[in-house]
Amino acid sequence: MKVAIASDHGGINIREEIKDVMKEMGIEFEDFGCECETSVDYPDYALPVAEKVANGEFDKGILICGTGIGMSIAANKVKGIRCALVHDLFSAKATREHNDSNMLAMGERVIGPGLAREIAKVWLTTDYEGGRHENRVGKIKDYENK
């Protein structure tokens, strides 16, 4: 599995935590910034990473900003992206099992590093269940292809 990760200035610390988690898990990843602590615009990071996941260059993507909201809104504009904004372990598992989410967004001003690490671990290791969810995810894909 190859994962693309990025954050804005509001998510730098948790981005580093998640990179450590992926190193520990032996997961291949690439970091797409941001490089600075000055203010940047989250769509400049969310959209390129979402495109890399949508075009198959990466299997999954992880985005962090202050709230996770801006990143998730931007990423979900890219066709083929199902970006889940997650701040609890139940949702981390459920969104992989039910939604086949291919991107994860979190907010560094919402949760601490310990929970963010656990969310990433669960999200990265939980498989999509398919079955009854296939029809539902299929309806989203159909809408995108209209």
Write out the catalytic residue numbers: 65, 98
* Number of Cβ atoms within 10 Å of the Cβ of 104: 30
Nearer to ligand RB5 by C-beta: 45 or 100?
Answer: 45
DSSP codes of every residue in 95-125: HHHHH---EEEEETTTS-HHHHHHHHHHHHH
What is the per-residue binding string for ligand RB5 in 53-92, x denoting contact by CB under 6 A?
------------xxx-xx----------------------
DSSP codes of every residue in 4-71: EEEE-GGGHHHHHHHHHHHHHHT-EEEE-----SS---THHHHHHHHHHHHTTSSSEEEEEESSSHHH
Among 29, 32, 42, 123, binds ligand RB5 (CB under 6 A): 42
Taking the complex as a whole, the smallest distance from the CB of residue 112 to ligand RB5 amounts, in Å, to 16
Taking the complex as a whole, the smallest distance from the CB of residue 41 to ligand RB5 amounts, in Å, to 9
For position 33 contacting ligand RB5 by CB under 6 A, the verdict is no
Among 5, 10, 102, 103, binds ligand RB5 (CB under 6 A): 10
Q: Which residues bind ligand RB5 (CB under 6 A)?
A: 8, 10, 42, 65-67, 69-70
